[in-house]
A and B are shown apart, each in its own frame.
Chain A
Amino acid sequence: QVQLTESGPGLVAPSETLSLTCNVSGGSLSNHYWTWIRQPAGKRLEWLGRIFSSGSTYYKPSLGSRVTMSLDTSANHFSLQLRSVTAADTAVYYCARAVETFHYYIDVWGKGTTVTVSS
C-alpha cells in the first residue's frame, strides 16, 4: 500500500523559505493528485494546494505567490516551498494523495511533520 513520509527542517527563520519533501513508497506519482495540508496548533486543517502527476498545480488563493509545489518522478517524491514565512506558518504539515474524480477526498495521508517559524 502507498505510504507517504514528510521530511524537512523542523525550524525555519522568519522571512526564510520553508521546504518540505514527501516521499512516496509502495506506489507511483503517476495519474494522481498530490496535496499539502497543514494544521496550526489548536486550529483546523488547511488545504494549501495540489499538484497533478503532469506537473499542473493549483494553490490556495490566499497564499498568493508564496507557495510552489513540484514533483520529481525519478525520485518518487513531491515537494512544498513556502516563501517569506512568519509565525503564522508554524504548523504540522501533512502531505497527502487526493482523489478528484466523481468524488473528492484524501485517500492517503502522511503522519505529518512539525515546522516552527522562529528566530
Chain B
Amino acid sequence: EIVLTQSPGTLSLSPGDTATLSCRASQAVSVSYFAWYQHRPGQAPRLLIYGASSRATGIPDRFSGSGSGTDFTLTISRLEPEDVAIYYCQQYSPPRMWTFGQGTKVEIK
C-alpha cells in the first residue's frame, strides 16, 4: 500500500499569502492517479485537482497542482478566508487501491 505523507500538518497564513502544501508518496505514483481535495468544516469534501495538475470544474485559478513521481504540491495563491479547510491528497495504485494523505489544515491569521 502506498502511504501519502502530507506536510505541514497545519499552515497558518494571512489573507493574500501563498500556501504551499506538500504530499510525498512512499512509492512513485502516476500523475494520472493523483488528486487533491478541500474539506471545509460542515461541508462535503470537494475535488480541487485531478491528474496532479488539472483543475476541477469551477475551481478558481488560485489553486494549482504540480509534481510527479513521489513529490506533489498544491499551491493556493492570494489566500482568502473561504480557503480555511483541511486539504487531502489522494492516489490510486492498481489493482484498485486508493489511499489518502492525513491532511493539512489551513488557517487564516
Which A residues contact B (CB, under 8 angstroms)?
4, 43-47, 50, 58, 60, 94, 99-100, 102-112
Q: Shortest CB–CB separation between residue A22 and chain B, in angstroms?
A: 12
Among A45, A50, A105, the one with the most B-chain Cβ atoms within 10 Å of its Cβ is A105
Decide if B37 touches A106 in the complex (CB within 8 Å).
Answer: yes
On chain B, the number of residues with a Cβ less than 8 Å from chain A's Cβ atoms is 25
Decide if A109 touches B46 in the complex (CB within 8 Å).
Answer: yes
In the complex, residue of chain B having the shortest beta-carbon distance to the beta carbon of A6: B44
- CB neighbours of B102 from chain A (8 A): 43-44
Q: Shortest CB–CB separation between residue B10 and chain A, in angstroms?
A: 14
Which B residues contact A (CB, under 8 angstroms)?
32-33, 35, 37, 42-47, 50-51, 54, 56, 88, 90, 92, 96-103
Decide if A44 touches B100 in the complex (CB within 8 Å).
Answer: yes
Decide if A112 touches B88 in the complex (CB within 8 Å).
Answer: no
Q: Shortest CB–CB separation between residue B48 and chain A, in angstroms?
A: 10
Write 5 A-B pairs (CB below 8 A) sorted by A numbering: A43-B102, A58-B96, A60-B97, A94-B44, A107-B47
Decide if B44 touches A110 in the complex (CB within 8 Å).
Answer: yes
* Cα-based distance from A100 to B95 in the complex (angstroms): 12
- CB neighbours of B43 from chain A (8 A): 111
In the complex, residue of chain B having the shortest beta-carbon distance to the beta carbon of A5: B44
CB contact under 8 A between A103 and B88, given known A44-B102, A109-B46: no
Decide if A103 touches B50 in the complex (CB within 8 Å).
Answer: yes
- CB neighbours of B54 from chain A (8 A): 103
